[in-house]
């Protein structure tokens, strides 16, 4: 992974000092609330319902074991001994004290971490495929480009007071696991007719109040133009994005208003001034960025032998076999597998992880996965490089720590924002809904029979729980001071992206599990052979689901 040199370290250290000074001045009454707001947000600090919330950046979801240990440490010293993995692969502390935040940031800087631009109207943490570098369907590792974007966007002087937040995602594989269609800018590594890999750029995707799928602004861009092109897009947005209404301020609204062709033209015009300028990437810089993501010291493994051992373990222990089937996947190299650790055990808030679990993960990653861990936008954790022969030992440790719930990609692997229990923007609670659904569908055989299914929950229109792109999406709404839940169906964040359609009037909290049950049984009744939920939904449309969901109890 990327390692800071003295320059990177200096920038982070100076940022800590700056924020310490800002916090001191705020506490002394020298900065008003309104002035402090963007300053603290650009350092990931929210003042929430019960306590502040600090969002720590995990650039493109990659961490090492000393960073995990530091997070565990911080959560014990400054918080309540657990952290939360957000849907942008970041880590959130729920209970820090404002006065102590500068100290937390100073601690983070010792392990090359920070909270820069994890909130606010600026360029946020760039995200990518959680399986980057190890996926078997990858054209090129996207992480070097994520790192190049991270550096460029960090404390960018021109784009710190944009009309609204700005999110970039990069993907380099056949399957899009980074949801690039739902980002302000989505970047895909693609080959041209001669096989040269360049960048396809999408613009104007996003969730929130007005969900939109990104439009292609450039089919193929030479990689060296990455930063100047991004700068041109951002400059058009910064100058022309709406600032009169925060719900209409995202770039998607501007792109829609101008039309993609006029928007492209405006970008090209800005770009002529910037193109081939000093920010044009050099070959040396691309090589340098790539050098941090070279293969670790993989062993040349006899995969046939390893697989036959694995099969034996599986035959001996069906619970292990099931976990292998549900929570691990093919690695691009023989003899290795990718392991996803589920943070979705029933009874625990989705995405929460305790200090002890973090410490265990640090140890296990050192033992089994070259000391690296990834966080996912589905709010789970990944060990990317586990030898097949080590899977059984690893599983036993995970099992004992409650990190081996075999539900990755299934109904109970719910994406869920913190909602009304923590978030001051919420219309409704989201965590109890997740728990009620997990409890109701505790029959794993039924869950597996439903096939891969994404159920996403957001506590308000801000859509941190990505409800529009869940095959089943649940949104908390406020009806005359009461918490209600709207359900939408048919969302999808893969390359054939689609936005979920609202089923109908919203439901009371206590009715949600029953309604979900009805939706699922409708699917089970209507599905053909190998159809998954989305296939069936796309074939039959929303009506059969609607009819069943709103039918009077029989």
Partner 1 sequence: MRRLIKHDSIVDDTWKPIDPDCSAPEHGQICSLEQWHNLADKDGSAVQLEPGQEPTPLFDALEKIDLLVINFPVFTDGRGFSYARDVREHGYQGELRASGHFIRDQLTYLQRCGFDAFQMADDSDLNAALTSLRDFTEHYQAAIDQPLPLFRRRL
Would you tell me which residues interact with ligand SF4 (CB under 6 A)? 417-419, 423, 425-426, 458-460, 462-465
Decide whether 44 or 418 has the Cβ nearer to partner 1. Answer: 44
Closest C-alpha among 424, 434, 429 to residue 349: 434
| Distance separating alpha carbons of residues 61 and 44, to the nearest angstrom | 16
Left (φ > 0), alpha (ψ -120 to 50) or beta: where does 507 sit? beta
Which of positions 226-245 make contact with partner 1 (CB under 8 A)? 227, 235, 238-239, 243
CA distance linking residue 469 with residue 486, whole number of Å? 14
CA distance 170 to 177: 9
Residue 419 binding target from partner 1, ligand SF4, none, CB below 5 to 8 Å by type: ligand SF4
From the CB of 217, what's the least distance to partner 1, in Å?
A: 19
H or E segment to which residue 358 belongs: helix 355-368
The binder of partner 1 chosen from 162, 416, 447, 512 (CB under 8 A):
162
What's the closest the beta carbon of residue 145 comes to ligand SF4, in angstroms?
28
In sequence order, the 6+-apart residues with CB closer than 8 A to the CB of 265 are none
5 contact choice in partner 1, ligand SF4, none (CB below 5 to 8 Å, kind-dependent):
partner 1
Sequence-separated (6 or more) residues with CB below 8 Å from residue 276: 228
Residue 264, interface with partner 1 (CB under 8 A)?
no
If contact means CB under 5 to 8 A according to the sort of partner, which of partner 1, ligand SF4, none does residue 235 touch? partner 1
Neighbours of 239 (CB within 10 A): 11
Q: Which does 285 bind (CB under 5 to 8 A by kind): partner 1, ligand SF4, none?
A: partner 1
Which of ligand SF4, partner 1, none is residue 277 near (CB under 5 to 8 Å by kind)?
A: partner 1
Instruction: Single out the segment in contact with partner 1 by CB under 8 A; choices: 15-23, 68-76, 99-107, 414-422.
Output: 15-23
* Triad 426, 432, 437: Cα angle to 5°: 125
Q: Which of residues 23-42 bind partner 1 (CB under 8 A)?
A: 31, 35, 38-39
Q: Is 18 in the site for partner 1 (CB under 8 A)?
A: yes
Figure out which of the listed residues 259, 277, 296, 505 binds partner 1, where binding follows CB under 8 A: 277
**Among partner 1, ligand SF4, none, what does residue 425 contact (CB within 5–8 Å per kind)?**
ligand SF4
**Minimal distance in Å, beta carbon 301 to partner 1?**
37
Taking the least distance from each CB to partner 1, the nearer of 156 and 440 is 156
d(CA 188, CA 198): 8
Give the DSSP H/E element, type plus range, for residue 64.
strand 62-64
Q: Residue 306 or residue 487: which is nearer to ligand SF4 going by CB?
A: 487
The helix (H) or strand (E) run that includes residue 367 is helix 355-368
Residue 452 touching partner 1 (CB under 8 A) = no
Q: Which residue of 159, 323, 537, 545 would you call a contact of partner 1, by CB under 8 A?
A: 159
Task: Give the span between the Cα atoms of 132 and 140, in whole angstroms.
Answer: 9
* Lookup: tokens for 470: 């869940």
Task: State yes or no: residue 161 binds partner 1 (CB under 8 A).
Answer: yes
Does position 157 interact with partner 1 (CB under 8 A)? The reply is yes
* Least spacing, CB of residue 231 vs partner 1, in Å: 9
The H helix count followed by the E strand count for the chain is: 18, 21
Least Å from the CB of residue 234 to partner 1:
8
Q: In the window 88-147, what residues touch partner 1 (CB under 8 A)?
A: 121
Task: Select 45 or 455, whichever has its Cβ closest to partner 1.
Answer: 45
The span from the CA of 431 to the CA of 454, in Å, is 16
Among 66-74, 106-114, 276-284, 441-449, which window interacts with partner 1 (CB under 8 A)?
A: 276-284
Q: Structure tokens of 440?
A: 């109701």
**DSSP string for residues in 460-511:** STT-TT-GGGSSEEEEEEEETTEEEEEEEE--B-STT-B--EE-SS-EEGGG
The least distance separating partner 1 from the CB of residue 31, rounded to whole angstroms, comes to 8
| Least distance to partner 1, CB of residue 118, Å | 17
Strands (E), 349-505: 352-354, 372-375, 381-387, 415-416, 455-458, 472-479, 482-489, 501-502
**Cβ atoms of residues 82 and 352 within 8 Å:** yes
* Chosen from partner 1, ligand SF4, none, partner binding at 125 (C-beta under 5 to 8 Å by type): none
C-alpha to C-alpha distances, 495 to 171, 180, 202, 253, 492, nearest whole angstrom? 11, 8, 12, 22, 8
The smaller minimum CB distance to partner 1, of residues 81 and 277, is found at 277
3-state secondary structure at position 416: strand
Residue 285 in contact with partner 1, rule: CB under 8 A: yes
Q: Could you tell me the smallest distance in angstroms from the CB atom of residue 215 to ligand SF4?
A: 25
Binding site for partner 1 (CB under 8 A): 5, 7, 10-11, 14-15, 17-18, 22, 31, 35, 38-39, 121, 148, 151-152, 154-162, 227, 235, 238-239, 243, 273-274, 277-279, 281-282, 285, 288
């Amino acid at each position: 992974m990327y390692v800071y040199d003295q320059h990177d370290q200096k920038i982070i250290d100076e940022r800590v000092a700056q924020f310490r000074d800002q916090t001191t001045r705020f506490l002394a009454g020298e900065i008003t609330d309104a002035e402090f707001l963007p300053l603290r947000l650009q350092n990931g600090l929210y003042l929430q319902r019960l306590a502040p919330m600090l969002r720590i950046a995990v650039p493109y979801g990659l961490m090492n074991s000393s960073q995990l240990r530091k997070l565990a440490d911080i959560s014990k010293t400054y918080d309540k001994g657990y952290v939360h993995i957000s849907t942008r692969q970041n880590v959130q502390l729920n209970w820090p004290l404002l006065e102590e935040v500068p100290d937390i940031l100073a601690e983070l800087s010792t392990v090359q971490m920070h909270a820069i631009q994890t909130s606010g109207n600026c360029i946020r943490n760039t995200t990518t495929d959680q399986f980057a570098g190890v996926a078997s369907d990858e054209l090129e590792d996207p992480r070097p480009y994520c790192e190049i974007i991270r550096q460029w966007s960090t404390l960018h002087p021109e784009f710190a007071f944009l009309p609204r937040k700005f999110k970039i995602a990069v993907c380099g594989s056949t399957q899009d696991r980074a949801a690039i269609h739902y980002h302000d800018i989505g970047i895909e590594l693609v080959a041209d007719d001669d096989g040269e890999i360049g960048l396809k750029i999408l613009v104007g995707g996003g969730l929130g109040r007005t969900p939109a799928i990104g439009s292609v602004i450039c089919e193929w861009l030479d990689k060296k133009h990455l930063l100047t092109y991004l700068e041109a897009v951002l400059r058009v947005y910064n100058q022309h994005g709406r600032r009169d209404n925060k719900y209409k301020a995202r770039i998607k609204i501007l792109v829609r208003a101008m039309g993609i062709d006029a928007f492209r033209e405006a970008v090209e015009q800005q770009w002529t001034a910037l193109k081939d300028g000093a920010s044009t990437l050099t070959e040396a810089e691309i090589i340098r960025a790539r050098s941090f993501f070279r293969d670790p010291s993989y062993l040349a493994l006899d995969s046939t032998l390893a697989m036959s051992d694995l099969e034996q373990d599986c035959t001996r222990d069906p619970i292990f076999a099931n976990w292998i089937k549900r929570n691990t996947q093919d690695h691009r190299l023989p003899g290795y597998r990718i392991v996803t650790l589920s943070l979705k055990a029933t009874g625990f808030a989705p995405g929460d992880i305790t200090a002890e679990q973090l410490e265990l993960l640090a140890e296990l990653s050192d033992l089994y996965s070259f000391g690296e861990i990834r966080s996912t936008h589905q709010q789970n954790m990944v060990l990317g490089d586990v030898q097949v022969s080590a899977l059984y030992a690893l599983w036993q440790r995970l099992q004992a720590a409650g990190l081996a719930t075999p539900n990755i990609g299934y109904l109970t692997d719910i994406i869920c924002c913190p909602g009304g229990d923590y978030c001051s923007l919420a219309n409704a609670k989201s965590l109890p809904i997740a728990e009620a659904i997990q409890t109701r569908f505790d029959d794993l055989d039924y869950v597996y029979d439903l096939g891969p299914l994404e159920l996403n929950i957001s506590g308000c229109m801000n859509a941190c729980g990505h409800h529009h792109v869940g095959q089943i999406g649940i949104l908390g709404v406020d009806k005359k001071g009461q918490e209600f839940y709207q359900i939408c169906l048919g969302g999808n964040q893969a390359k054939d992206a689609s936005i979920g359609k609202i089923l109908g009037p919203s439901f009371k909290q206590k009715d949600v599990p029953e309604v979900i049950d009805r939706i699922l049984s409708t699917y089970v009744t209507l599905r053909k052979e190998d159809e998954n939920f989305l296939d069936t939904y796309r074939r039959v449309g929303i009506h059969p689901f609607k009819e069943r969901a709103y039918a009077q109890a029989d």
